[in-house]
Structure 1
Amino acid sequence: MNIPHSVTTHADLIADGYKNIKAMSALSITPDSMVKFHGFLDLLSNEHGSEFAEHVLAQPQIQDIKPGIQQLFSQASSLYERHWAERLVESEDALALLTQEYPYYQHYERATTLEISAINSLSSDAVNRVLMVGSGALPLTSLALFNAGLAVDNLDINQPDLLLGKSVCDALQPDNQMAFIHNDVCVQEQLDQYDVIWLAALVGDEKIKGKIIQHLFENMRPGAHLVIRTAYNLRTLLYPSTNEQALLPFQLKLKVQTYADNFHSILIAQKPE
């Protein structure tokens, strides 16, 4: 197969962008580092078609650095969330700071609204109690779910991030009654109390995600739904993608494959009743 020159050129640009970020003396959230990160993310735009993305992902230099890119993005995302979480906690007007200055506020609002609408459409019974797995230091999804009238529990394996996330929720919504659970989801019990479980995109690699999905299936109640945030095409370089096969024995109910940047793809599955 003849690979178009544009594919190899794009793969080289991705590899060079990754090397430039790796060459930074320290991974930190600064104006200069954000320029580099945003430039790199632009190379992984959702607007690239599937055929083009498949060719780019198949390039040897991309296969070699894919694990490193995912690890780097996970670290950078955690730093970015902590940076904004600390700003919100320290702010005199956390809500104004979030809604007016946080770049991805509208993304979380739109994404969670879409997910809630889909869940309500798919569920035969009213949705009341939900669990957010991988809530992190900036639990904006959890707040959106709470503001939609749902009872929300947050779970994260990283205790400092979990506690920082609790402080963020207290700053933004002082009357929230959310629970914050420090645990590994693979050993979390009493999962049958939830109508829906949300699984954040950066929770685990492909192998760990498989274990998580199996544990959830074994412990969720029949009829409950699972919402998985994932990625397709070039965005799979940023975090592990979950496909339909990986969801078995859950039953896939909805797949939303987005082609807009700053908007993740979504899988919704149900444990058979």
Structure 2
Amino acid sequence: MSRLLAWAGVSREKARDPPYSTIGRDREELLQELTDLRPSETTNTLFGDLVSQCCEIHDVNTVSQVLASCKLQAILPSLQSLCSQAESCLETHWASHIAQGQEPTEAQRLLETFPYYGNYEELTRLELCALRSAGLVHPQKIAFVGSGPLPLTPVCLLKALKEDALSGPVPPTKHQQGPTIINVDRDEEAVATATTLITRLGIPEEEMVHYCGSADSQSLSLSSCDVVYLAALVGVTQLEKEQIALSIAARMRPGALLVIRSSWGLRNCLYPEFDATTASLRSKLEVALVVHPYGKVVNSVIVTRVR
């Protein structure tokens, strides 16, 4: 029985927390212990244990009981905030580490040692299959909003599109260039770090460019994009994320796809779940499909089509 379930009161079994278990501690104790969220043995153990517990699969009734637990509800906003901060610290640390590679092959080797690199590759394949199911087979121009200092999804996405594992390589023609990805982030330091990383990986400027600014900035043109991704950490509340999604959709052409990352099940402890079916969203976006992972991938995928 999961310690998370036991602690939340779903089972009478007493939770046996290891020294660095995340769930079950008082909020104040957890916050005091995690004064430094940079990667370390303690931080890695804490969040590794949390992610492992939250990726467990249980029946709907059990999950509902855990998420409705008064104990969990009391710490959930702080817990999600901690996860967001820790993820940012993890990405910044690894981006700097990977950028130490002086040659693209060395930088790529370091990139592949990132603890969750395999998860991002799997999530990328899942999202590409979702896009194909929605009718978009070979996207040429993509924007990723909330790319951060370590734009792993854009890197994996570019690689997957160029190799096209599902239908074989599709070389650019005279009338059609290869895919281009725009990394969008409002943090200047994150953009600078990501730019250095992309250079170290040897990715040409025509294949990946960077935009520093807010997602709702009118200077960010999205009308030529086949698909826009909205990262899970962009927007804290449902309302904030909804407003950002509508602002983005307003600058996209009808028929283009907006991919919104969300969460489901116990993964809601890590990221807030997003409802793409509200009245305001339905007025501008049509939900094409929703995909929930059952393995180590954390994020759910919501594919919407601009009306």
TM-score, L = length of structure 2 = 0.80
Q: Deviations over 1:148-174 (max 9, x none)?
A: 142111100111111111111111134
Distance (whole Å) between structure 1 residues aligned to residue 141 and residue 294 of structure 2: 31
- Confirm or deny: 8 A CA contact 1:112 1:141 kept in the other structure: yes
Q: Does 1:269 align with 2:279?
A: no
What amino acid sits opposite 1:233 in the alignment? G
SS of 1:29 mapped into structure 2: coil
Aligned residues: 268
| Counterpart mapping for 1:210-225 below 5 A | 210-225=242-257
* Equivalent position of 2:32 in the other structure: 23
Q: Does 1:106 align with 2:141?
A: no
Percent sequence identity over aligned pairs: 29
SS of 1:144 mapped into structure 2: helix
Of 136, 139, 142, 1:130 maps to 142
* Equivalent position of 1:255 in the other structure: 290
TM-score, L = length of structure 1 = 0.89
Of 3, 25, 46, 1:36 maps to 46
What amino acid sits opposite 1:222 in the alignment? P
Seen in structure 2, the aligned counterparts of structure 1 residues 268 and 152 have a Cα distance that, compared at 3 Å, is: same
The alpha carbon displacement at 1:259 in A equals: 2.0
Seen in structure 2, the aligned counterparts of structure 1 residues 211 and 88 have a Cα distance that, compared at 3 Å, is: same
Distance (whole Å) between structure 2 residues aligned to residue 44 and residue 222 of structure 1: 37
Provide structure 1 residue ranges, at least 5 long, that are not aligned to the other structure.
none
SS of 2:153 mapped into structure 1: helix
Of 74, 91, 95, 1:85 maps to 95
Seen in structure 2, the aligned counterparts of structure 1 residues 84 and 194 have a Cα distance that, compared at 3 Å, is: same
SS of 1:240 mapped into structure 2: coil
Q: Deviations over 1:244-269 (max 9, x none)?
A: 31442311111111222333211101
| Counterpart mapping for 1:156-235 below 5 A | 156-177=185-206, 178-188=208-218, 189-205=220-236, 206-235=238-267
Provide structure 2 residue ranges, at least 5 long, that are not aligned to the other structure.
1-7, 163-178
Of 223, 233, 241, 2:273 maps to 241
Once superposed, what is the RMSD of the aligned Cα atoms?
Answer: 2.3
Distance (whole Å) between structure 2 residues aligned to residue 186 and residue 242 of structure 1: 18
Q: Deviations over 1:176-206 (max 9, x none)?
A: 4221111111124422111100111111112
Distance (whole Å) between structure 2 residues aligned to residue 40 and residue 19 of structure 1: 17
Distance (whole Å) between structure 2 residues aligned to residue 19 and residue 91 of structure 1: 40
Seen in structure 2, the aligned counterparts of structure 1 residues 91 and 17 have a Cα distance that, compared at 3 Å, is: farther
- Confirm or deny: 8 A CA contact 1:81 1:137 kept in the other structure: yes
Seen in structure 2, the aligned counterparts of structure 1 residues 141 and 182 have a Cα distance that, compared at 3 Å, is: same
What amino acid sits opposite 2:195 in the alignment? K
Seen in structure 2, the aligned counterparts of structure 1 residues 45 and 174 have a Cα distance that, compared at 3 Å, is: closer
